Amino acid sequence: MNRCLVTGGAGFIGSNIVGLLMARGHDVTVLDNLSSGYRHSVLQSPKVRFVHGDIRDDAALDETVAGADTIFHLAASVGNARSIANPVEDSEVNVLGTVRVLEAARRHGVRKLVYSSSAGIFGELKTLPIAESHPVEPDTPYGASKLAAEKLCLAYGKLYPIECVCLRYFNVYGIHQRYDAYGNVIPIFVHLALRGEALTIHGDGEQTRDFVDVRDVAEANYGAAQHRGVRGAFNIASGSRVTINHLVQLIQQSFGAELHVTHGPPRAGDVRHSLASIDAARAAFGFEPRVELESGLRAYVAWARQELA
């Protein structure tokens, strides 16, 4: 791996992957339409080539894929609630956009493609912990579109000499993650806390989530790309879970202050419990999460105080 393209590289997870690639001496091109990303997140190094464009534009893809040996495909319309509100856009970006990325990879002889998938493909969980063999019955357009894109990547990996790896992220949090009303509970809660507003827990707060720090996710992408012969779909998570009520307690500890908390009705499309098995990723490319939730939250709150306040 030398020359890399990161689609969606100005976004939360993408910018962390770009930073890791740059630190390890790789040539990096970023393709991003800045619909949710931030250009300054990836322009801290003059060695990053940034192209303002969309994965639904074949010309932009040809410009950025040419010469790349590895693609990290993160550009997406993200989130269950957003997909329910905008199902057509969700599929246009996540399904048709991924087909265009795969076609560009085929045209230009890309060796490896690492696709950012989601635990949303599973739907309501039947067994815990969740292995890759768990039934996939998504409950939202987002889960369905990410599953369709996964299947497309794996099919292209069978048809053409592209090693395709799909990484199924659970609840990712960390630096560069900004507030999004459709997004992850951690930036929502931290944003509200910074503004002195109440944190609203949907439901009783005893639902559980498997949170993984974005630095571990970046390492997972790097490991999957570096290991020759690795193909298929893998869970990327911490392999542990906490309740939302306990998460609020940890956020309060990170702020060093009591926060006002309220409760609201459960959100449509949310699963009750989540916990991943990460044994397959550990065996295939040595994935090992290293950032504990408490320390990860402290780092994120410190970043958010500086960047978002």
CA distance 7 to 2: 16
> What residues are paired with 172 via a beta bridge?
212
Is residue 23 classed exposed, middle or buried when 0-12, 13-18 and 19+ CB atoms within 10 A define those classes? Answer: exposed
- The one catalytic residue among 115, 142, 169, 222: 142
Give me 213's structure tokens: 């720090």
CATH number assigned to the domain comprising residue 113: 3.40.50.720
The yes-or-no answer on residue 222 being catalytic is no
Residue 262, domain member (yes or no): no
Cα torsion through 259, 261, 266, 267, rounded to 10: -40
Residue 53, domain member (yes or no): yes
Q: How do the pLDDT tens digits run along the chain, 309 residues long? A: 789 999 999 999 999 999 999 999 999 999 999 987 666 656 556 689 999 999 999 999 999 999 999 999 999 998 888 899 999 999 999 999 999 999 999 999 999 999 999 999 998 888 999 999 999 999 999 999 999 999 999 999 999 999 999 999 999 999 999 877 556 899 999 999 999 999 999 999 999 999 999 999 999 999 999 999 999 999 999 999 999 999 999 999 999 988 999 999 988 767 788 999 999 999 999 999 999 999 999 999 999 999 876
- CA geometry: angle at 214 spanning 209 and 216, to 5°? 95
Residue 246, domain member (yes or no): no
Which pLDDT score is estimated for 231?
Answer: 97
* 62 C-beta neighbours (distance < 10 Å), count: 13
Which pLDDT score is estimated for 1?
Answer: 72
Residue 153, domain member (yes or no): yes
Which pLDDT score is estimated for 76?
Answer: 95
**Number of structural domains, the chain?**
1
CA distance 304 to 281: 30
- CA geometry: angle at 297 spanning 292 and 302, to 5°? 135
Residue 304, domain member (yes or no): no
Domain span at 91: 3-173+211-237
Residue 290, domain member (yes or no): no
Which pLDDT score is estimated for 197?
Answer: 94
Residue 143, domain member (yes or no): yes
Residue 70, domain member (yes or no): yes
Query: What is the chain's Cα-based Rg?
Result: 18
- CA geometry: angle at 58 spanning 53 and 64, to 5°? 60
Which pLDDT score is estimated for 42?
Answer: 62
Which pLDDT score is estimated for 270?
Answer: 76
pTM for the whole thing?
0.94
